[in-house]
Structure 1
Amino acid sequence: MRTAFHEQLDALNEGIAVLCERTGAMIQLATDALLHADVEAAEHVIDHRDDIDHACAAREADAFVILARQAPVARDLRAVVSAMRNVADLQRMGTLAAHVAQISRRRHPQTAAPADVLGYFAEMGAIAARLADDTRSVVLEADSDRAAQLAADDEAMDDIHRRLFTVVMDPGWPHGTIAAVDVTLLSRYYERFADHAVEIAQRVIYQRTGKRQD
């Protein structure tokens, strides 16, 4: 019975790792759309948001099957519930990537952010994609070093978010209100994407080791 449970849980976690990879690809493509006013890339991300939602629903269904058939208790039950929460975080990450793409499509053929702040978003996009990849490794291997790197990258993302807010709020901001709103929203989307990735990693490390990742 426990062998079947662990096989099913491993399969669920492998599916979650695939979702990490897919959301990482989405945020990378959404960033490309933002930086280069690439409407085709933006539409590709938007069109594939439903695919992520369906994949998340399938993984959630897998978790319910485990609960129904294996009736896990104590630590095993917590492992399944944690996996379900990870799926919810990944669904939100896919949604956030789509939000970035939607703003890019709305402002086409111009870039959604002024040229003088695009460098910030290039850095945020690179961090977000790296976070998704590191989260995948944590899910598969419970790698505490990767989890620690996630926390460091999250701090870097937060720092860029704060810097962009300062830039937008400067009385000398020359690009108008609409651009300020777009930049603020985009920055928030990347910052939240990072937060969800870190939450997954911290949850996995705690579930597998009983220790919280600082």
Structure 2
Amino acid sequence: MREVFQQELAEVQERLVEIAGLVAVAIENATKAFNESNVSLAEVVIDEDAKIDEAAIALDELAINILARQQPVARDLRIVVSALRISASLERMGDMAEHIAQLARYRFPDKVVPKSLRPTFLELGRLDVQIANKLTDLLRTEDVTLAEEIRNDDDQIDALHLSVFDKVLSETWKGAAVDTVDSTLASRYHERFADHAVSIAKKVQYLGTGEWVASAVIE
């Protein structure tokens, strides 16, 4: 029975890595669609989000089944409960990628943000893709140094996010109302994507070290 239980825990980890991989592909395609005004790629992201949702639901069902049958305790219990919470965060990261893609589709054939903000969003997208790939590696390897790297990347995203707000609120901003709304929404989606990754990284770090780092509440 113990061997079966360990196999089930390994399957939980494998499924988390699989979902994280789907999320990494989603954010890479979403940010490319956003920055290049590629409506075909945006629609791929929107359509593929259902796969992330289905994979997350299947993982949750597996974890709940393990809790019911195996009644894990101590670290094993923390692993299963953490998997449920990580699954939820990954699903929300998929949603953020979908939202970014939806903006690209809504504004096609135009670019979503004005020219003055495009370099900022190129960098936001690059960092989100980088974070997603590091998160996949973190879930696969449990290398806690990756958790620190993700948090450092998130600090850069936070700074860029604030710079977008500074730009659209400045007296020199010449964008129309729709530009202001789209820019702030898009920036927030990029920022929240990274926030969920940080939340997951902290959970993995806790499982590996036993030390918990407090984090802000993420919707």
Q: Distance in 2 between matches of 1:32 and 1:2?
A: 45
Question: 1:75 Cα shift?
Answer: 2.2
Question: 1:118 Cα shift?
Answer: 1.1
Name the SS of the counterpart of 1:208 in structure 2. helix
Question: 1:24 Cα shift?
Answer: 1.1
Q: Distance in 2 between matches of 1:201 and 1:10?
A: 18
State the partner residue of 2:151.
151
Decide whether the 8 Å contact of 2:144 with 2:208 is kept in 1.
no
Question: 1:199 Cα shift?
Answer: 0.7
* 5+ long unaligned stretches in structure 1: none
Alignment size in residue pairs:
214
State the partner residue of 2:86.
86
Q: Distance in 2 between matches of 1:211 and 1:137?
A: 20
Q: Distance in 1 between matches of 2:119 and 2:6?
A: 45
Q: Distance in 1 between matches of 2:143 and 2:168?
A: 38
Decide whether the 8 Å contact of 1:93 with 1:193 is kept in 2.
yes
Decide whether the 8 Å contact of 1:148 with 1:213 is kept in 2.
no
Could you tell me which amino acid in structure 2 is paired with residue 57 of structure 1?
Answer: I
Shift >3 Å, 4+ stretches: none
Could you tell me which amino acid in structure 1 is paired with residue 20 of structure 2?
Answer: C
Q: Distance in 2 between matches of 1:171 and 1:86?
A: 41
State the partner residue of 1:41.
41
Decide whether the 8 Å contact of 1:30 with 1:42 is kept in 2.
yes
User: Equivalent pairs: percent with the same residue?
Assistant: 39
Question: 1:54 Cα shift?
Answer: 0.6
Q: Distance in 2 between matches of 1:17 and 1:86?
A: 11
Could you tell me which amino acid in structure 2 is paired with residue 44 of structure 1?
Answer: V
State the partner residue of 1:61.
61
Name the SS of the counterpart of 2:171 in structure 1. coil
State the partner residue of 2:118.
118
TM-score w.r.t. length of structure 2: 0.94
